[in-house]
Amino acid sequence: MRSSKHTGRKAVLSTPPSPTLPKARTGIQGLDEITGGGLPAGRPTLVCGSAGCGKTMLATEFLVRGAMEFGEPGVFMMFEENAAELTANVRSLGFDLEKLAEQKKIVLDHVHIERSEIEETGEYDLEGLFIRLGHAIDTIGAKRVVLDTVEALFAGLPNHAILRAELRRLFRWLKDRGMTAVITGEKGEGNAITRYGLEEYVADCVIVLDNRVAGQISTRRLRVLKYRGSAHGSNEYPFLIGDRGFSVLPITSLKLDHHASEERIPTGIARLDEMLGGKGIYRGSSVLVSGSPGTGKSSIGAKFAETTCRRGERALLFAYEESAAQIVRNMRSIGVDLEPWLKKGLLQIHASRPTLHGLEHHLVMMHETVRAFLPSVVVIDPISNLTMERDEAEVKPTLMRLIDFLKQEQITSLFTSLTTGGTATTASEDSQVGVSSLMDVWLLLRNSENNGERNRTIYVLKARGMAHSNQVREFVLTDAGIDLVDVYLGSDRVLTGTARVAQLAQERAAAELRNQDHERKLRQLASKRKAIEAQIAALQAEAESEAAEVNFSIAQETMQEKIAQQNADAMAQLRGGAKPVKTAAKATK
């Protein structure tokens, strides 16, 4: 009676997107995305897998989330663990079953059958189980039921014919009562989905869990084998059971529809931004920094994170080579101090060994951490460690999921990647072809070795959607920080490091020499000019003295003539006959 009252409410609560088949949200991260909204509401779902692959966890979380988040109380009928054990097991995930039971949100019922206690004679049915379940459902008005693992009955009850008939009836009964049920089942031998063929009875939805070990690393995977009346993702999805429960790596890569921001954010290295069209990278884009060992990949990553924090945004650094303390110390040596940001809570460093989990597990953890911290920048240093010993075919889709997820969230990501090939010039590019197509910006760091030293060079291999420099720059790490320096572009070669410095010094010396030469020439010119000027002055003086001499002689002659005239005049006066003398004097004038 109670259940029918709830049916209407559930249709509203748990089936927002699907117009065809009502679905009950599990609240499990990623699972609702894969199934397009959750498990079929009011129908049983079979969750099967081998031992230890998380069937019970999935079932528990389905029930707990239902009770806590979707207002759907549930009954957990367990056939293997008892209530105390289960409560203890899931407490680590933050689920308090005891409290939920007290609040009448869930009922835990442990069905225990001891084969040795039981004798069988004559006909019977499992009405007792039905009554128990029915009673539990009615007590709290349950909408969800978990049977974990109903197959245990096969071990307890010898008459399998009766049992099968009764199980069929049970699932039918659950359906009739409108219970969204999760029934777990052990994986069978060979290709059998379940050991006792439960899939025959539970035909609406089958989810297969799997725990596979490859290269000593185990990965849990989930697959929706069947979902009657609904589209569903048919791939295998990695999942993990983490601190916050079960989570399936959600696939956002089904669609490429993320928003593309016009905003540019700086990388923290001014000259690098300059190379990237002068403004840095687009927000929400992905950057690959690849290079051989010791080319400064991590430094770029750390600098980027620090710059982000400086802007007051959050940065998340996943480190797979160094511990957090080591990174802080090492980065301080190049003038990048991460500690204040760590203390302020703007920066988080998650350091772990890549071999700790499989790639998928790492990625799921990254998802969780990103979800919890909500950073604007994520740095992963390096991805190449994560992808160790993996086929590219396997790695690429997984990374794609991560990148798509980050893009969807408008988180700018920087991945460093160690390339094999050392100083070789082409190997670095080839070894990254797989993941590079996922990246928007690809910076290549390279060691160039000559003159007995190695120098770092950097260039922008690609940068989608922005004008970028095609130049090789020298990448310099100093106490004061990271800088890019123009390399020496000589007539026939590119010089870096001391060769560049030497070449520049040489050029400076040559320039200095030329300078001095010019000055000398100018001085010479000046003294020549002075000499000429002196000559000019001397000649002028000569001319003047000559002119003066000429004038003097002229004056002298004039004077002599005058005196002679006067003498003549005086003589004429003395002689008395003035007239003829006057004429003579006039004539001489």
Partner 1 sequence: MKNTTPAFELRLYVAGQTAKSITAFANLKRICETHLAGQYRIEVIDLMKTPQLAAGDQIIAVPTLVRRLPEPIKKIIGDLSNVERVLVGLNVQPVTA
Q: What is the DSSP string of 404-457?
A: HHHHHTT-EEEEEEE-SSTT-SSHHHHTTHHHHTT-SEEEEEEEEEETTEEEEE
Minimum CB distance to partner 1 smaller for 120 or for 449:
120
Minimum CB distance to partner 1 smaller for 109 or for 236:
109
Element (H, E) at 493: none
Contact 209, 185 (CB under 8 A): no
With a CB cutoff of 8 Å and minimum separation 6, the contacts of 64 are 74, 90, 95, 97, 100, 106
Q: What burial class does residue 215 get, using C-beta atoms within 10 Å of its C-beta: 0-12 exposed, 13-18 middle, 19+ buried? A: exposed
Select the span of 68-76, 113-121, 399-407, 518-526 touching partner 1 (CB under 8 A): 113-121
Spot the catalytic one: 321, 322, 368, 429. Answer: 321
111 contacts partner 1 (rule: CB under 8 A):
yes
With a CB cutoff of 8 Å and minimum separation 6, the contacts of 157 are 113, 118, 120, 163
Q: Among 21, 57, 153, 198, which residue sits at the site for partner 1 (rule: CB under 8 A)?
A: 153
Minimum CB distance to partner 1 smaller for 128 or for 465:
128
127 contacts partner 1 (rule: CB under 8 A):
yes
Select the span of 49-57, 106-114, 192-200, 492-500 touching partner 1 (CB under 8 A): 106-114
**213: which 2 tokens?**
């070990």
477 contacts partner 1 (rule: CB under 8 A):
no
86 contacts partner 1 (rule: CB under 8 A):
no
In whole angstroms, how close is the CB of 9 to partner 1 at the nearest point? 25
452 contacts partner 1 (rule: CB under 8 A):
no
Q: Among 58, 59, 129, 379, which residue sits at the site for partner 1 (rule: CB under 8 A)?
A: 129
* CA dihedral over 360, 361, 362, 367, signed as positive or negative: positive
DSSP-based three-state secondary structure for 284: coil
Minimum CB distance to partner 1 smaller for 138 or for 200:
138
Q: Among 2, 124, 329, 514, which residue sits at the site for partner 1 (rule: CB under 8 A)?
A: 124
5 CB-side CA count, 13 A: 6
DSSP-based three-state secondary structure for 62: helix
In whole angstroms, how close is the CB of 124 to partner 1 at the nearest point? 4
167 contacts partner 1 (rule: CB under 8 A):
no
Spot the catalytic one: 80, 274, 313, 322. Answer: 80
118 contacts partner 1 (rule: CB under 8 A):
yes
Select the span of 125-133, 200-208, 231-239, 297-305 touching partner 1 (CB under 8 A): 125-133
Closest C-alpha among 361, 23, 31 to residue 223: 31
User: What are residue 281's DSSP bridge partners?
Assistant: 265
In whole angstroms, how close is the CB of 157 to partner 1 at the nearest point? 7
Q: Among 71, 134, 421, 481, which residue sits at the site for partner 1 (rule: CB under 8 A)?
A: 134
309 contacts partner 1 (rule: CB under 8 A):
no
Write down the H helix ranges in 297-446. 297-310, 324-332, 339-344, 359-373, 383-386, 392-408, 427-430, 433-436
Select the span of 61-69, 128-136, 307-315, 342-350 touching partner 1 (CB under 8 A): 128-136
Encode burial over 304-322: b for 16+ CB neighbours within 10 A, e otherwise: bbbbbbeeeebbbbbbbbb
My answer on whether omega of the bond before 382 falls inside 30° of 0, hence cis, is: yes
131 contacts partner 1 (rule: CB under 8 A):
yes
In whole angstroms, how close is the CB of 183 to partner 1 at the nearest point? 16
- Residue 283: count other Cβ atoms within 10 Å of its Cβ: 18
Using CA atoms of 28, 33, 35, 37 in order, give the dihedral in degrees to the nearest 10. Answer: 80
In whole angstroms, how close is the CB of 112 to partner 1 at the nearest point? 5
Q: Among 5, 19, 51, 121, which residue sits at the site for partner 1 (rule: CB under 8 A)?
A: 121
User: What are residue 107's DSSP bridge partners?
Assistant: 75
In whole angstroms, how close is the CB of 86 to partner 1 at the nearest point? 15
Select the span of 150-158, 330-338, 404-412, 496-504 touching partner 1 (CB under 8 A): 150-158
Q: Among 6, 132, 232, 464, which residue sits at the site for partner 1 (rule: CB under 8 A)?
A: 132
1 contacts partner 1 (rule: CB under 8 A):
no
Select the span of 30-38, 111-119, 189-197, 560-568 touching partner 1 (CB under 8 A): 111-119
Minimum CB distance to partner 1 smaller for 132 or for 310:
132
**279: which 2 tokens?**
């403004």
Contact 341, 369 (CB under 8 A): no
Select the span of 109-117, 203-211, 256-264, 269-277 touching partner 1 (CB under 8 A): 109-117
The Cα 204–Cα 477 span in angstroms is: 61
Contact 235, 251 (CB under 8 A): yes
Contact 368, 304 (CB under 8 A): no
Q: Among 123, 189, 257, 262, which residue sits at the site for partner 1 (rule: CB under 8 A)?
A: 123
Q: How far is CA 556 from CA 126, 259, 546, 568, in A?
A: 166, 112, 15, 18
Asked about 69 being catalytic, the answer comes back as no
Q: Among 1, 119, 189, 479, which residue sits at the site for partner 1 (rule: CB under 8 A)?
A: 119
Q: Among 120, 243, 339, 389, which residue sits at the site for partner 1 (rule: CB under 8 A)?
A: 120
The Cα 237–Cα 235 span in angstroms is: 6
Select the span of 64-72, 104-112, 265-273, 416-424 touching partner 1 (CB under 8 A): 104-112
Q: Among 2, 99, 135, 168, which residue sits at the site for partner 1 (rule: CB under 8 A)?
A: 135
Q: Among 52, 128, 215, 340, which residue sits at the site for partner 1 (rule: CB under 8 A)?
A: 128
> Site for partner 1 (CB under 8 A): how many residues?
24
User: What are residue 485's DSSP bridge partners?
Assistant: 474
Amino acid identity of residue 237, one-letter, is Y
113 contacts partner 1 (rule: CB under 8 A):
yes
Asked about 72 being catalytic, the answer comes back as no
Residues found near partner 1 in the complex (CB under 8 A): 109, 111-113, 117-129, 131-132, 134-135, 153, 156-157
User: Which residues participate in catalysis according to the annotation?
Assistant: 80, 321
